[in-house]
Amino acid sequence: MTTKKQSPLRVGETHVQAVRDTFPGAVLDATWQAADQVTITVPTDMLPDVVEFLYYGRGGWLPNMVANDERPLHGCYALYYLLSMEESDPGFVVVRAEVDPHSMEYPSVTPRVPACVWSEREAFDMFGLRAIGLPDERRLVLPDDWPNDLYPLRKDSMDYRKRPAPVTDVENYSFLYEGHAEETTEVPMGPLHITSDEPGHFRLFVEGEDIIDADYRLFYVHRGMEKVAESRLNYDAVTFLADRICGICGNAHSVAYAEAVEHAQGIEVPVRAQYIRSILLEVERLHSHLLNLGLVCHYCGFDTGFQHFFRVREKTMDLAVLLTGARKTYGLNLIGGVRRDILDEQKLATIKYVRELRHEVEALVDMLVSTANFESRTAGIGRLDPAVARDFSPVGPCVRGSGIARDVRFDHPFDGYKFLVGMSARSHDGCDVQSRTLVRVEEFMDSLDMIEQLLEGAPSGPIQTEDWQYTPHKFALGYTEAPRGEDMHWAQVGDNQKCYRWRAKAATYSNWPILRYMFRGNTVADAAIIVGSMDPCYSCTDRVTVVDVKKKTSTVLTKDQLEGYCRRRTHSPLSGKGW
């Protein structure tokens, strides 16, 4: 007698079954978009229960949530909570719920899973979908003078070129204060210069020198890339628009978008192209981490180190030019592969650059960590408690500096990372600026090793594929580990070769909500280096205004004065003494 061989479970199937067993009748539908991605549709009223169960009960983390106007397709709006499962049965489980187009309401998941807070605020701004029970209902993306009844990403909403008339001349954003001190000093930082790509307004609530709480307003300049992509571009052109999301990690965004479409359409990328993508992602990490290490030197009052790190960083930019023809904005990725191969002479020159960088950066790091100011200005500063990190799903060196080795390159290996040997995610458990800095140092050295290993292991063969069938309205996730952390893109193609919905999530988007917890318990002098340790997509502050509530006085400080105070920690601008 023979027994029938049981077919192996698909990735994510244990999580789907666990939801079925725990919440009978909750799974209305389960479909796999890719080998490691499954989307389950649940009743809207069970959304918080299911997401919380997968998040805390099944080892999930939440990189993002996507809202989508699916009225032309299914007669409703839809929400997609993207969960990265990182314990047993690793992969991605997406929880989908439909929102009635008349009520426009759904139960908020944020009280159960705080990591959802920004995404649920944005869903109201862009679609008018209201999360009932959301603790923070303030606007996130849209400006204060935006019309209340205009939701840009609805399919029947505004043209992408429209500039609505302002409805108010007054900034009415309310900053939240959760401290207990009755008398505090408010320290506004910003808003930043209007030409910056991501300016913001920071409000520090201080008692003397100590930061009791903090709040901030970002999105002062919103470029509307998702609206442009859905309105004007063909789905394949969005790859090049994604390359322009960030001047540091644009290539990571381009890869993430391309892979979202490739996963949705079932496109097999040639192995050589996968190696090339990973090599260039690591080249991008090299110059990004050197930039941040230089800034750490600057905030510690070690400007000699700043100059040297930026001097050496030029070699990484030269390496990018060698391989792509550009210092930044490589324009290398296509749906189905890459545009340029790496030739033998480029390979040899790259290995020479790698060896020089390893030698020079090792010497600079030794110089940095032996500098007295580095220890005193980074150890114990800006602590991110692992419990806070677990609640908010931060990414990159921010979370790895708190002892949590989350890294999509190793949690969900993709492209050339699937073929690496002897590599793993770096982490430190100091939870402070120093730990985040040391993670970047070690990752820089690992990137050099990865580039060498990928160059040596890359097989010959094609770098593009065109052998696939385009199917409209399919969707999937694409993901990369950018220098600042995980970039997550969700893309759905439409009719006529158009992009129906594109949600691009940069690493910094996941990290901003934890910043107020990193500020608390530190001093005003620590503010600049704490923000810098996040390595955010963020530009320099124009000025800082110190308002003493008790004395009814105010003082305007320049950016240079605040940074100088950060470096020296003497002659506090709050003390009233001379600078």
Residues flagged as binding site: 226, 246, 249, 537, 540
Instruction: Locate 421 and state its tokens.
Output: 């040997």
For the chain, report the end-to-end CA distance as a whole number of angstroms. Answer: 90
Distance CA 47, CA 41 (A): 9
Among all chains, which residue has been given the structure tokens 């979370």? 399
Among all chains, which residue has been given the structure tokens 């650059």? 353
Give the strand order in the sheet containing 499-505: 475-482, 485-493, 499-505
Distance CA 34, CA 475 (A): 10
Q: How far is CA 398 from CA 352, 499, 509, in A?
A: 31, 32, 12
Instruction: Locate 120 and state its tokens.
Output: 């649920």
SS3 state at 569: coil
Distance CA 486, CA 507 (A): 5
Q: Are 525 and 209 in contact (CB under 8 A)?
A: yes
> Which residue positions form the known binding site for Mg(2+)?
226
Q: Which residues contact 7 (CB under 8 A, 6 or more apart)?
A: none
Distance CA 571, CA 565 (A): 7
Among all chains, which residue has been given the structure tokens 């944020």? 110
Residue 333: CB atoms within 10 A of its CB come to 26
Please, is 475 exposed, middle or buried when counting C-beta atoms within 10 Å of its C-beta (0-12, 13-18, 19+)?
A: buried
SS3 state at 450: helix
Instruction: Let me know how long the chain is.
Output: 579
SS3 state at 556: strand
Q: Which residues contact 511 (CB under 8 A, 6 or more apart)?
A: 394, 395, 396, 398, 484, 485, 534, 536
Distance CA 472, CA 143 (A): 34
What is the sign, positive or negative, of the torsion defined by CA atoms of 258, 264, 270, 271?
positive
Q: Are 300 and 567 in contact (CB under 8 A)?
A: yes
Distance CA 346, CA 352 (A): 10
Query: Using CA atoms in the order 251, 253, 254, 255, what is the torsion angle rounded to 10 degrees?
Result: 90
Amino acid in the structure at residue 69: D
> Which residue positions form the known binding site for Ni(2+)?
246, 249, 537
Residue 228 falls in which region: left (phi positive, over 0), alpha (psi -120 to 50) or beta: alpha
Q: Which of 209, 201, 204, 190 has the alpha carbon at shortest distance from 574?
A: 209
Looking at residue 328, the DSSP 8-state letter turns out to be S
> Which residue positions form the known binding site for Fe cation?
249, 540
Among all chains, which residue has been given the structure tokens 């921010």? 398
Looking at residue 380, the DSSP 8-state letter turns out to be T
- 225-251 residues labelled b (16+ CB within 10 A) or e (exposed): bbbbbbeebebbebbbbbbebbebbbb
Q: How far is CA 84 from CA 40, 98, 407, 504, in A?
A: 14, 21, 11, 16
